[in-house]
Amino acid sequence: MSGSVKSPQKRITSYQYYFKKVYEKRLRYWNKISFLLAIAASAILAFPYISIWWNIVYTITFRAPLIYLALYFVKLCRNFNSTVEYSSNKTLAQQIARSVFTRRYVTSLLFYLGSSYVIYALFMLQLPLRSQYSIVAKEFRKRPAINDEWVYFWFHAYFVALLYTVQHIVFQRNRLQFRYGINHIKPDSVLFSKLPALLGHASLFNTVSSISSPIIYWVIRSIIYKINWLFFAMLSLDSTIPRFHIGFWTLINISFIVNHVYDTYATIGCLDGKKPISNYSPDPISSILSCLRDVDAENQISRLTAFQELAYLATTNDPEGAKRRKAIYSAHSVAGFVWPAILDECALVIKETSSRVNYRSQSDMKALRGSQPPSKPEEPLNETKDSFLFGNSFNTSTADTTQPMVDASSSPLRRYEDVAPSSSSLYTRLQNNALGRHIINHLVIPTQKFLAAYLNPQTSKSRSKTVTDKLALIQQYYAKYRNELLESSIGVFFRITLKRDTESRVVNPVNYGNAVIALSGILIHAVEEDRNNTVTGAHISEVLNLLERPIRACANYTDMLPASVYLTKEQRENEQATKRHLVALLHDLTIQEFFQLCVKYNHKLNDLSLSSRAFKLAKWVIDASIAQQQKEKESSDLYY
């Protein structure tokens, strides 16, 4: 049949698809702002060298489009290397070693090199230096000598791109700075708020690059000439290193500004206007769930936005948002209700963060055990009626059957070598003949000694006191010189600072914070909005037990910092200075959400299956809430 009807196209429900569309729409504002910056930069770049009218003509014809192309390279670089996670490296040296010469670094360097060379080439076109790549020597030469000032100009363009790429990657300027609990920002309020700081950073960068560039060039100029000998030969120049002669140029690096514009529009949030991004999908809740499950590194920004939107739906009072939240309690998928799947995805993020915060290296664990007071010795077993609350083994040979019989396993084990063979054993019979004694002396006894040393290490020959003392002395010297190194100026590369240690543990605090907020908000609103009893007591118990883990892990970290963390003099003298870090912020957030859940479900806490720690924490929270209410009531009574 020639007029057959085509099957309808499958509707796209991927959250990543709609997020990409919104993301590209937002970055169109970057295109407009960058084009205006290109026009302004073109006018400023040529202002001292040509007249105003020629400046306008050149700007319209080729300079502004080329500068915009240079800025567009920066945008392509950010599209490639943007991330939302902190680095997992604990020291600056590790960060440098694991950032430089990686695929991300090399690709970023190529983009910034293209941007730098385009701008510096446009600047050179209006200088006499553009055609002065050679100089006329006083003595006779077959080929003209190279103009060292011309070579340095292009080296400076390369050095600026190299230095900017290093600070951009090493100091994580490519990280998009989202915040948990913040669902939407207005670009206008952020765009101009950091402009003075950006100009200050650009001026500082120009100062550092202008001072260090001649020094670096003077050190490696012989290498530069050797590497580029083929290029000089193509220009029919003498590749002999000429006399050191450079000029001085400095251009304001506008990459700081365009990167700030990119960060502003890339971190607007999960709302497109006044409605969530998932509203474009025919199945919003399922599309959010599919994005929560997407752990691909290339989609980390969209996954963060999905967690952000989930937290927004769980806490908003907007009628449209509340309608979407009610859909969570009734939404179905092939496997059943969507809510348990959302709980699982949030739980994975929370558990992973708790484990990373709670982790201690072997050296940290050893130092932690050494810093703790010795545990009390166990009290001897008091075989009284009251001391044995459990057990059903009794000594029936005695008249008093109320006394339990001590099991044989509680008696001390005898050592392997204390076991004597019986008189009628094979061992005795072997001793009665010469061959048997030979077997015992050369096989049985050595084997027995080997097994005794293996099974009972305490009986084996211990280290000599001299070796032990030397090892202890070496450890003392190592600790001494290590501390001196960390206190020195070079030690800044090897210090595990409190900030770096917390960030390396909680690489994505935004996802964690939004996951906690989302679970708490969904459970709190379930009391009034869950008409299908989708949220059960088991779910409430699971969430409370789940939140107790990071609360305990964060509290332990704050109270007992790892021994490997380097503390400044201020932090060592002021204990409160060690309480202000990322892990402490997450602890405060989690305990706040735990508090709200306990207050909301106070009427059924005794019916929940809580762990002992979670129940104890919940009881403490309720007692604190009651005490706070009584205090407020007393203060109000005194006022009236």
Note the pLDDT tens digit of each residue in 614-627: 999 999 988 888 88
Q: Is the pLDDT of residue 336 over 80?
A: no
Q: What pLDDT score does 126 carry?
A: 85
Share of the chain above pLDDT 70, in %: 83
Q: What pLDDT score does 333 carry?
A: 57
Q: Are the C-beta atoms of 583 and 357 separated by less than 8 Å?
A: yes
Q: Are the C-beta atoms of 305 and 26 separated by less than 8 Å?
A: no
Question: Cβ contacts of residue 613 below 8 Å, gap of 6+?
Answer: 548, 552
Q: Is the pLDDT of residue 314 over 80?
A: yes
Query: Tokens standing for 424?
Result: 């009628």
Q: What pLDDT score does 449 carry?
A: 66
Residue identified by tokens 């202008």 is: 210
Note the pLDDT tens digit of each residue in 185-226: 999 888 888 888 888 888 899 999 999 999 999 999 999 999
* Mean pLDDT rounded to a whole number for the chain: 82
Note the pLDDT tens digit of each residue in 238-288: 778 888 888 887 788 889 999 999 999 999 999 998 899 999 998 899 899
> What is the average per-residue pLDDT within 343-368?
92
Query: Tokens standing for 47?
Result: 């202002």
Q: What pLDDT score does 464 carry?
A: 57
> What is the average per-residue pLDDT within 496-516?
95
- Among residues 270, 284, 279, the alpha carbon closest in space to that of 331 is found at 284
> What is the average per-residue pLDDT within 233-237?
84
Q: What pLDDT score does 91 carry?
A: 93
In 408-508, alpha helices (H): 426-430, 434-439, 445-455, 465-487, 498-505
Q: How far apart are CA 332 and CA 347, in angstroms?
A: 20
147 vs 334, more confident: 147
Q: Is the pLDDT of residue 368 over 80?
A: yes
Q: Is the pLDDT of residue 403 over 70?
A: no
Q: How far apart are CA 267 and CA 260, in angstroms?
A: 11
pTM given for the model: 0.80
> What is the average per-residue pLDDT within 307-335?
86
pLDDT tier, 426 (very low <50, low <70, confident <90, very high otherwise)? low
Burial 252-283 (b: 16+ CB within 10 A, else e): ebbbbbbbbbbbbbbbbbbbbeeebbbbbbeb
Q: Is the pLDDT of residue 372 over 80?
A: no
Q: Is the pLDDT of residue 388 over 50?
A: no
Q: Is the pLDDT of residue 87 over 90?
A: yes
Q: How far apart are CA 597 and CA 610, in angstroms?
A: 13
Q: Are the C-beta atoms of 521 and 314 separated by less than 8 Å?
A: yes
Where are the strands (E) in 220-362, listed by range?
Answer: 271-272, 275-276, 332-333, 336-337
Q: Is the pLDDT of residue 396 over 70?
A: no
Q: Is the pLDDT of residue 5 over 50?
A: no
Q: How far apart are CA 87 and CA 497, in angstroms?
A: 13
In 82-194, alpha helices (H): 92-99, 103-124, 148-170, 187-191
**DSSP codes joined into one string, 536-598:** -HHHHHHHHHHHHHHHHHHHHHHHS--TTSB--HHHHH-GGGGG-SHHHHHHHHHHHHHHHHH
Other CB atoms within a 10 A radius of the CB of residue 69 amount to 14
Note the pLDDT tens digit of each residue in 518-556: 999 999 999 998 888 889 999 999 999 999 999 999 999
Q: Is the pLDDT of residue 409 over 90?
A: no
Q: Which of 94-103, 587-596, 628-637 has the lowest average pLDDT?
A: 628-637
pLDDT tier, 598 (very low <50, low <70, confident <90, very high otherwise)? very high
Q: Which of 15-24, 243-252, 372-381 has the lowest average pLDDT?
A: 372-381
Q: What pLDDT score does 141 carry?
A: 65
Q: What pLDDT score does 381 carry?
A: 36
Percentage helix, strand, coil for the chain under 3-state DSSP, each rounded to 5: 65, 5, 30
Share of the chain above pLDDT 90, in %: 48
> What is the average per-residue pLDDT within 575-593?
92
Residue identified by tokens 């100062």 is: 207
Q: Are the C-beta atoms of 563 and 364 separated by less than 8 Å?
A: yes
282 vs 388, more confident: 282
Q: Which of 147-151, 302-306, 402-406, 583-587 has the lowest average pLDDT?
A: 402-406
Q: Is the pLDDT of residue 385 over 60?
A: no
Q: What pLDDT score does 450 carry?
A: 62
Give the CA dihedral 19, 24, 28, 34, nearest 10 degrees.
110
